[in-house]
Structure 1
Amino acid sequence: MLYEMIGIVRPGNLAEVKEIVLTAGQIILRQGGVVRDIKNWGVFMLPRATSRHQVRYTRGHYFVLRYDAGVSTHEAVRSTLAVDPRVIRAAGVKLGDGKLETLSRLGPINWKKMEV
């Protein structure tokens, strides 16, 4: 199945974001999955202040990871990111119904800038 995961990492160090994405990618590849796309969205304000591992965050570094994998692989990635103290939040969704014609309509990962 095709999954898309949006992760929010504590801001301030791009090397941490790269290391977290590398760890998630290695889990996917070791279990026979395929990484389809990775995007770095950068640092943004969180929708609301969030506490994680006894630290309060108002900003976060966003990234998106799109991959094909089984359910067990998806659960392994989620559980690994959940225990990492550098990750503020990570959420994944299954895209489409698994059929090729549905998945071909999904284009690249975009970020729509808000007009102020």
Structure 2
Amino acid sequence: MLYEMIGIVRPGNLAEVKEIVLAAGQIVLRQGGVIRSVDNWGIFALPRTISKAQQLHHNGHYFCMRYDASTATQQTVKNTMSLDPRVIRSTSVKLGDNKLETLSKFGQINWLNSAV
């Protein structure tokens, strides 16, 4: 399955972000998955103040990682991210089932051609 994980790490230290992405990537690779891309989105203000590990966070360092992995591997990555106190939030979305027909459907828009 193709997954996209977006994570928010406490800001201030780029090395922490690299360590967290490396840890998640190693889990995926050890269990036979493939990492498609890793994007560093930078530091942004959070939509609202978030409390994590007895700290209030107003800003976060965002990253995005796309990877192919099994459902069990995705669950392991999710659990690892939720237990790391440096991670403010993370979420994963399943993008496809590795079939070309499914992946090619992303981006298509069904337009209504009738006049309103």
Which residue in 2 is equivalent to 1:47?
47
Query: Is the deviation greater in 94-103 or in 66-75?
Result: 94-103
- Tell me the amino acid that sits aligned with residue 93 of structure 2: V
- Tell me the amino acid that sits aligned with residue 55 of structure 1: Q
Q: Which runs of 5+ in 2 are unaligned?
A: 108-116
1:33 matched to 2:25? The reply is no
- Tell me the amino acid that sits aligned with residue 10 of structure 1: R
Aligned-residue identity in percent? 66
Give the deviation of 1:65 after TM superposition: 0.5
Per-residue CA distance 1:36-90 (angstroms, 9 max, x = gap): 0000000000010000010000100000000000000000000001110100000
Runs of 4+ in 1 over 3 A off after TM superposition: 104-107
Q: Which runs of 5+ in 1 are unaligned?
A: 108-116
Which residue in 2 is equivalent to 1:71?
71
Q: TM-score, normalised by structure 2?
A: 0.87
Give the deviation of 1:103 after TM superposition: 1.9
Counterparts of 1:97 and 1:27, CA distance in 2: 20
